[in-house]
Structure 1
Amino acid sequence: MRTIDWKEIEKNIENGRFPQWLVTDPEIYELEKERIFGRTWQFLAHESELKEPGSFVTRMMVDDPIILVKNKNGEINAFLNSCSHRGVRLCTEDYGNKKAFSCPYHGWTYNLNGELIGVVAGNKVFGESMDKSEWGLRPVPRVESYQGMIFGNLDPDAMSLEDYLGEMKWYFDIMLGRSDGGMEVRGVPQRWVAKANWKMTSENFAADPYHVQTTHRSAVELKLTPSDPLYASYGHQVVLSNGHGINVITSATGRSNNIYQGMPESMWPMFEKNLNKEQLDIFSRVQNFVGGVFPNLSFLSSCSGTEGTKYNHLQFRVWRPLGPDQVEIWVWYMIDKALPEDYKEKSYKGFIATFGAAGTLEQDDTENWARIVEASQGLMARDRNLSYNNMLNYLMGLDNLDPDENFPGPGKAYPTCYTDHIARSMHKYWLELITKEPEVKSHE
């Protein structure tokens, strides 16, 4: 790897400038896989996807295939999806229910706790010396959950999930814990591959409402969104710890056109019971929550509809890197369990029409993400001497915007969503992680 002047990069990031060559550089990507995705919490599944003992889903943590399975005691285990005999990917189904997992190569079989329980020809070929208890499936080093959201971490020494989420938990409680029974995933995650870099897709959701009026101009022309060019700016952009952030978007009046995002009045007593005064205040005024948990989990709580009436939904999405210039997008649709079935179905249809590979808004975004990659791979864009003023601009709000001390929620809240405060925070945390040398552990 060529020498990288990290001090120069740090100085530029501090001043609202991000070197363009960092976006798609292959050497930087290899560092990201090890130092960022190998150390941070990554979203794997929601508990509602694993309803009964034997229920399983298969997921990815960048290049690591993972099985999550509910055992007979109702506990959820996560293992590397790889047979411990010859390393074959053990399970190829996306989801299902099994009593045990058998390898298609040599037939080794594992129970729901990952224990090796069956070896073809057993003692006849391995003798008595092989201890089956040593050859179970390899568990993900850390698996923890919050409000039904299951995360994994490849670093056994990482901080706890709750510490990592930090102030974001307060906002997750509004979105995930507002109603009795919490949330549930409807359907299965949508998945598709896009030409994009994971940093730019994560940033788009967590930090960039500024793009809405231009990128999604077709939605304005179809009268799906307001024509006011400041539409997505009203409210607060809230910078949180560890590179996380959330935009609490309201209307020009600071209120919402639909209290509690248009949820039925029958649900309001639940909100008032499960949320505190400050959370209720924000939830009653918000139009959209949009933000992200670093490095690659994004969320959007909004309203969609296809026949004039809009219905609330919550989507979580993971940007799984496939390389410096490609991502696999995973999108979970989530809705309150306590809502009437009719509302859920109409909400789901509105979501499908708006988001997903064929959604009206999704196609706008993927076009721009591809163009970022296309323009960032040439010699000029990747010139490390910066001789072409080779910087991307993150100057919005840098020296002309102060935090709103009266904002009722945690974090540092700025009184507009048209600002780059979250993006700069993401870049700083990215730099902190990628420049942190791995610890050398002694093997005594």
Structure 2
Amino acid sequence: MNKLEGLVDLKTGAQRRLIYSDQAIYEQELERVFGRCWLFLAHESQIPNPGDFFRTYMGEDDVLVIRQEDKSIKAFINSCTHRGNRLIRADRGNARAFACNYHGWAFGIDGSLATVPLEREVYFNEIDKDQFHLVPVDNVASYRGLIFGCFDKDAPSLEEYLGDSRWYLDAVLDAMPGGTELIGATQKVVLHTNWKLPVENVCGDGYHLGWSHAGAMKAVQSGDLSGFTVGNSSVDLEGGMSVAGLNGNSVLAALDGRSGYAFYPDPTLALKYLEENRAKAVARLGKFRGEKLWGSQINFTVFPSLQFLPGLNWFRVYHPKGPGQIEMWTWAIVEKAMPDELKQQILDNVLLTFGPAGLFDNDDGDNLASCTVQSRGWRTRQMPVYTNMALGRSGQRVGLPGDIASGIVSEHNQRYFYRRWQEHMQAKDWSEVPQYNINPLEAEHEQRPVQAA
């Protein structure tokens, strides 16, 4: 499908339901979104030593991320170059080589073909091993411990791709010395939803919090912290901001410096950590980020499919498995400087609130699956859906990058998400994809260069 006009209407905030169910649209997404964009692969904390590997997906492509002997990081398609069998089935581990269990071809951690059984007898020593190197992911780079990969050689650098969203990301990823790490096993769950729906739900939908999650919020919320009390009428409309216009990346943030821990049965330990380290965060980040963002409830989205929520501290990537199904992977993200007791409390709370048995995810999973199914019918597919809340009511805030709408209840970020989706889907290559950081950072706020992985 090459003609996408009318599927997303930026003037009215409407989307055609066809984009959630059509197989041809999905196939084009694999090529032009997941085959073109920078995708999250792993956190450096998950592969600290040479030979450590982590298995993940880029779209529907099975990928191995491997720490090299020189501590650099490479990624390869997890498929034997002989007959295409999967090399590794484990989620993660450490290996000196990867042997295919079909015919025994073995590859080094650098992707080179190391040994071929019966090489002399059946190949007559004539096989060119260099020709059968594992297929690499063209671009691999890290930002503050987050490893990304990109299949497109013509893609902008990871630094350019993240753009001014780095200024907000650093409010968590670089707030404390040592940065962050992911803890806990990978929580995997299959949801029968189109991949775009959970992304838009988290990137900007503060509207559903007090309604969909009323029961879960009442069960886990600490009464002295949050303005997000149950019922839509009581959600704080002015105490935060929705930030978009950053190359498809977005931020939804409260601005109180403590509401990130509102959904903990006992936030005492977390609040103590914030109090003891606030001055250090301000020194590293400046007054606004150190006082207003660090410790607040924030929803980060890196287009197309990475999201994490400091405070609630879940970290998540969505792997598409067709137009109506995803595999959702979740971990807990913590600052390395946190005491072990707080890290454990954060992991326990992530398991309570999100993931396969999470109170909040069960609410969202049901809603998003229903939205997907209701987009499949012949007549229903002809009906639009809308993200038109507060349309035209965004603008600049002095000193902050991005196009910003007031409050956390707005569909501002969702509109930008679909705008970016449409830009990628319509573009034949990266030269046709617009790059924009609305209200860009001033020179003194520029970030340190991203490091090649």
TM-score, normalising length from structure 1?
0.88
| Larger displacement relative to structure 2 (314-323 or 254-263) | 254-263
AA matched with 2:82: H
Q: CA deviation at 1:253?
A: 12
Q: Find the aligned partners of 1:255 and 1:437 in 2 and give their Cα distance.
A: 40
2:367 alignment partner in structure 1: 368
| Larger displacement relative to structure 2 (359-368 or 126-135) | 126-135
Kindly indicate whether the alpha-carbon contact (under 8 Å) linking 1:279 and 1:409 is maintained by their aligned counterparts in 2: no
| 2:421 aligned counterpart, secondary structure | helix
User: How many residues align structurally?
Assistant: 418
1:240/1:9 Cα in 2 relative to 1: closer, same or farther (>3 Å)? Answer: same
Q: Find the aligned partners of 2:164 and 2:429 in 1 and give their Cα distance.
A: 27
AA matched with 1:216: H
Q: 2:127 aligns with which of 130, 134, 137?
A: 130
Kindly indicate whether the alpha-carbon contact (under 8 Å) linking 2:281 and 2:290 is maintained by their aligned counterparts in 1: yes
| 1:164 aligned counterpart, secondary structure | helix
1:14 alignment partner in structure 2: 11
AA matched with 1:267: N
| 1:189 aligned counterpart, secondary structure | strand
1:47 alignment partner in structure 2: 44
Q: Find the aligned partners of 2:400 and 2:138 in 1 and give their Cα distance.
A: 33
Instruction: Please give the root-mean-square deviation of Cα atoms over the aligned residues, in Å.
Output: 2.5
Are 1:428 and 2:419 matched, yes or no? yes
Q: CA deviation at 1:251?
A: 5.8
Q: 1:437 aligns with which of 422, 428, 442?
A: 428
AA matched with 2:412: H
1:96/1:7 Cα in 2 relative to 1: closer, same or farther (>3 Å)? Answer: closer
Q: 1:98 aligns with which of 95, 115, 128?
A: 95
TM-score, normalising length from structure 2?
0.86
Are 1:246 and 2:237 matched, yes or no? no
Q: CA deviation at 1:132?
A: 1.4
AA matched with 1:43: F
2:437 alignment partner in structure 1: none
Deviations 1:328-365 (A, max 9, x none): 00112111111111111122111211111101111000
Are 1:328 and 2:332 matched, yes or no? no
Q: CA deviation at 1:20?
A: 1.7
1:301 alignment partner in structure 2: 310
Q: 1:412 aligns with which of 399, 403, 423?
A: 403
1:231 alignment partner in structure 2: 235
Q: CA deviation at 1:18?
A: 1.0
Q: Percent identity?
A: 33
Q: 2:395 aligns with which of 403, 416, 430?
A: 403
| 2:349 aligned counterpart, secondary structure | helix
Kindly indicate whether the alpha-carbon contact (under 8 Å) linking 2:7 and 2:15 is maintained by their aligned counterparts in 1: yes
1:252/1:403 Cα in 2 relative to 1: closer, same or farther (>3 Å)? Answer: farther
AA matched with 1:240: G
Q: CA deviation at 1:231?
A: 2.3
Q: Find the aligned partners of 1:207 and 1:164 in 2 and give their Cα distance.
A: 20
| 2:172 aligned counterpart, secondary structure | helix
| 2:184 aligned counterpart, secondary structure | coil
1:394 alignment partner in structure 2: 387
Q: Find the aligned partners of 1:70 and 1:254 in 2 and give their Cα distance.
A: 37
1:177 alignment partner in structure 2: 174
Kindly indicate whether the alpha-carbon contact (under 8 Å) linking 1:207 and 1:291 is maintained by their aligned counterparts in 2: no
1:164/1:252 Cα in 2 relative to 1: closer, same or farther (>3 Å)? Answer: closer
Kindly indicate whether the alpha-carbon contact (under 8 Å) linking 1:167 and 1:240 is maintained by their aligned counterparts in 2: no
| 1:27 aligned counterpart, secondary structure | helix
Are 1:217 and 2:214 matched, yes or no? yes
Q: Find the aligned partners of 2:14 and 2:82 in 1 and give their Cα distance.
A: 49
AA matched with 2:333: M
Q: Find the aligned partners of 1:27 and 1:260 in 2 and give their Cα distance.
A: 50
Structure 1 gaps of 5+ residues are: 304-313, 384-389
1:398/1:361 Cα in 2 relative to 1: closer, same or farther (>3 Å)? Answer: same
1:378 alignment partner in structure 2: 377
AA matched with 1:227: V
| 1:403 aligned counterpart, secondary structure | strand
Q: Find the aligned partners of 1:143 and 1:66 in 2 and give their Cα distance.
A: 12
1:71-82 correspondence runs (5 A): 71-82=68-79
1:118/1:27 Cα in 2 relative to 1: closer, same or farther (>3 Å)? Answer: same
Q: Find the aligned partners of 2:138 and 2:64 in 1 and give their Cα distance.
A: 13
Q: Find the aligned partners of 2:387 and 2:129 in 1 and give their Cα distance.
A: 55
Q: CA deviation at 1:187?
A: 1.7
Are 1:292 and 2:301 matched, yes or no? yes
| 1:332 aligned counterpart, secondary structure | strand
| 2:242 aligned counterpart, secondary structure | strand
